[in-house]
Amino acid sequence: QTKSCVNLLSVLPLRFSLRGYGVCMATLFLFCFGSLFYQLNGGPPKILLDIRQYLEYMCAFLSSQVLPFPSQVIYNRVGKCGSRTVVILLRLLAEKHQFNLVSSDIHNKTRLTKHEQVDLMKNISSIPQPFLYTRHVHFLNFTRFKIEQPVYINIIRDPINRFLSNYFFRRFGDWRGEQNHLIRTPGMKDDERYLDINVCILENYPECSNPRVFYIIPYFCGQHPQCREPGVWALERAKQNVLENYLLVGILEELEDVLLLLERLLPHYFTGVLNIYKSPDYRKMGNMTGTVRKQTPTLEALQVLYHRMRYEYEFYNFVRDQFHLTKKKIGLKSVSKPPAYSNDFLRQLALRTPEPLDEDEELETDLEDANSWLVHP
């Protein structure tokens, strides 16, 4: 009991004043001195027994009061990257581990005004801890508004596979029922719903061109307007945020390893997640989230699409390397699945693909400076 109390106190100094810390150290010294007195004289004095009883009480009280670290987690989930699968798991885990799960139903508002950002961040910070908040929203920088920054997690996938999944999901839904998605997109006409994916790509339809296919990077770059411009600036800002603000960014192609790492890095939230994921009951629910009617584009269309998404692929490869590095540091030994498209194929595309028409990749020089566009309160 004494050992567990000392271990507990060792993680608490930052929460106390120096005076309080000194009192704790003096108490521990007195306890050690009393132990020596006990050994030399054959019995503990009454004051030592009283101190022990008090410390045991305090240990029990503090154990019930101290929050797990981190106690504020945000999963700003990227569309069509396994997020519905993870949310189902989180609902089961929240009930099991008694943390507050807040899952937003807003799916089509990832970019926010400054006032909307502040309102959302204040709302998130007011959730009783420990909590996990999840929503389709681009990265929010809490510290710019002098609000405590939560820990971020996320999952991405091969950019072309994500695009294809989204393209057909918007039109035909998933195994839960095609009619459900016809209701969700009532304004989509039949000629758009049944538009051949190759025609969409090769004839440069807006849905299959930039900036629409520049999708993953803005989730990590943030709310700055330049984050939505395909280019090096947004790419590098996204990489920087991954390194500085995300505890883990996994890849969907290695989902089981992602869940294993989350279980180790955030045990108060994810302990037992892999057992749930592999259970027969969960498999029945998870299988209903797969997109239906997916088709693979022709090689020519893939070449054009890859060239348009080359920044997305550079970011994806960066995240995958960081994920593998984290696995190595943790000591997780597993067999990695190969990427959807081999490196040789991607290198050939980079060399052979001509510039697609009507794509302006020049950055506007009159954009506000990245560090000054937000108003500091």
Tens-digit pLDDT profile for residues 205-247: 999 999 999 999 999 999 999 999 999 999 999 999 999 999 9
pLDDT tens-digit series, residues 340-367: 555 555 555 544 433 333 333 333 333 3
Tokens 């259970």 belong to 279
* Cα–Cα distance measured from residue 29 to residue 40, given in angstroms and rounded to the nearest whole number: 17
CA–CA distance, 227 with 311 (Å, rounded to integer): 12
Dist CA 199 CA 297 (whole Å): 10
Residue 121 in domain: yes
Residue 115 lies in a domain: yes
* 242 inside domain: yes
Parent domain of 290 = 72-351
Picking from 232, 207, 209, 160, the residue whose alpha carbon sits closest to that of residue 358 is 209
> Do the domain assignments include residue 292?
yes
In DSSP terms, 178 is beta-bridged to none
Task: Classify residue 314 as exposed, middle or buried by CB count within 10 Å of its CB (0-12, 13-18, 19+).
Answer: middle
Is 43 contained in some domain? no
Distance between CA atoms of residues 6 and 23, nearest Å: 14
Q: How far is CA 312 from CA 75, 236, 359, 364, in A?
A: 20, 11, 16, 20
Residue spans of beta strands (DSSP E) within 309-368: none
**Phi and psi at residue 373, in whole multiples of 5°?**
-75, -25
Instruction: Give the active site residues.
Output: 136
In a domain, 17, yes or no: no
**250 DSSP β-pair partners:** 155
Q: What is the pTM of this model?
A: 0.72
Q: Give mean pLDDT, residues 88-100.
A: 96
Which CATH number goes with the domain that contains 195? 3.40.50.300
Q: Render 166-202 in DSSP notation, one character per residue.
A: HHHHHHH-BTT-HHHHHHH-TT--HHHHT--HHHHHH
Which range has the worst mean pLDDT, 46-50, 97-101, 194-198, 228-232? Answer: 46-50
Both tokens assigned to 288:
């209903």
Instruction: Specify the number of domains making up the chain.
Output: 1
Phi and psi dihedrals of 184, rounded to 5? -70, -30
Q: How many CB atoms lie within 10 A of CB 8?
A: 15
Cα-based torsion angle of the residue sequence 369, 370, 372, 375 in order, rounded to the nearest 10 degrees: 130
* Dihedral sign computed on CA atoms, order 186, 188, 190, 196: negative
Rounded to an integer, the average pLDDT of 72-96 is 96
Is position 130 within any domain?
Answer: yes
At residue 137, the pLDDT reads 98
Amino acid at 99: F
More confident position, 374 or 31: 31
Q: Which two tokens stand for residue 52?
A: 């022990």
Q: Which residues pair with 156 in a beta bridge?
A: 251
34, part of any domain: no
